[in-house]
Amino acid sequence: MDKLQQIGREWLDTLVVAISVAMAFRAYFYEPFNIPTGSMQPTLYGNHYEPCDNPGVMQKTPLKWLNWIVSGRDYKEFAAPFSGVLRVRDRNDGRCDFSIVSPTGRESERICLPTDALLHFDFGPDAAGRDVVPDARQLSNGEVIRVACIAEGPDGQAKRELRIPKGHVLFRGYDTTGDFIFVNRWKWNFRAPERGDVMVFSTTGVGESPSGHYVGKDGSKYDLQQGTHYIKRLTALPGEEIAIRRPNVYINGKAIDPIKPMTGKRGEPTPEPSDGGASPAYAKSLAVKGSARMGEGEYYACGDNSDNSLDSRYWGAVPERNLRGVGSCVFWPFMNPRWGKIK
């Protein structure tokens, strides 16, 4: 018995040392990070949809698990189990929970899909040729959800709930995981952050609260969701003045390279996101002032996917104390055109 206890203790000591080394490595050298959204496309992809009408043998067990391990893709179908309304719950991680709710209030099993899957939903014959729009609803428990509705009338304000018929297939395709990367935690110990770095930072204390203080993770009360981490491209350094006149970024009055240009489908020569007017920090942004000067220890962060990025144009500069590290390389999924060093 004493011998077994000795062996057990030796194994326990080894395990504790191994875990300690792994935690120290993660804290001081390289930390794994999952890209949740598409704000850094095409450099990095978050959770996203890929079309697929015929998944074939690779989506049959056990090959489907091998396919997921290699490619990060999981084929899913979403059909209405009974007639009802489509209900959407946002998760703030690049995914949403979708379900069908019957007229009697019965809710189907929820299916988790990438947020952009909603853009590819087939809403059925009732929605043919009509605009399907989300309508915010508050449940009795205070939860705010979205319900799929059809816009009626010339102003699109009048809406009616869209009824999905039983058995109708709303979605079929691949649920593809976002890129997994290693964040280099030690690089900035030997050199200062540089323009063009793909940086990971803590959101705690970034942006302004209408009430003047931070009280949780309720995104409706902040310019930026608190208590999480974002990844963006470092665009302006302390002491620099930044201006954005599409498609170029200007630092101290000069267009810079190799920062990726501000791209998008709208094409207007304005630097601001079109729907950022409610943010307190937005009143101090480029949209109002035309330019912004970084203070001591402040960095400007922009997403490469300019028209779909919640970044410093909304909530201002990132303090140096919030910087976590530099995006180093994509290590999973393995079958990934972005695998390897991040550029």
Concatenated DSSP letters of 275-340: T-TT-TGGGGSHHHHS-EE--TTEEEEE-SSGGG--SHHHH-PEEGGGEEEEEEEEEESSS-TT-E
3-state secondary structure of 203: coil
What pLDDT is stored for residue 221 in this prediction? 55
Residue-averaged pLDDT of the chain: 79
| Residue 107 DSSP one-character state | B
Task: Report the CATH number of the 180-341 domain.
Answer: 2.10.109.10
C-alpha–C-alpha distance, residues 341 and 343, integer Å: 6
When comparing pLDDT for 125 and 170, which is higher? 170
**What mean pLDDT is predicted for residues 192-203?**
93
Task: Name which of 249, 229, 219 is nearest 313 in CA terms.
Answer: 249
Q: What are the structural domain ranges in the chain?
A: 78-171, 180-341
User: Using CA atoms, how far apart are residues 208 and 312, in angstroms rounded to an integer?
Assistant: 12
Share of the chain above pLDDT 90, in %: 35
Least confident of 169-173, 239-243, 270-274: 270-274
pLDDT at residue 237 greater than cutoff 90 = yes
**What are the tens digits of pLDDT across the range 145-155?**
889 988 876 66
pLDDT, position 273: 43
Q: In angstroms, how far is CA 194 from the centroid of its own chain?
A: 24
The pTM (predicted TM-score) of the whole model is: 0.76
Q: pLDDT digits over 126-168, tens only? A: 888 788 888 888 888 878 888 998 887 666 567 888 999 999 9
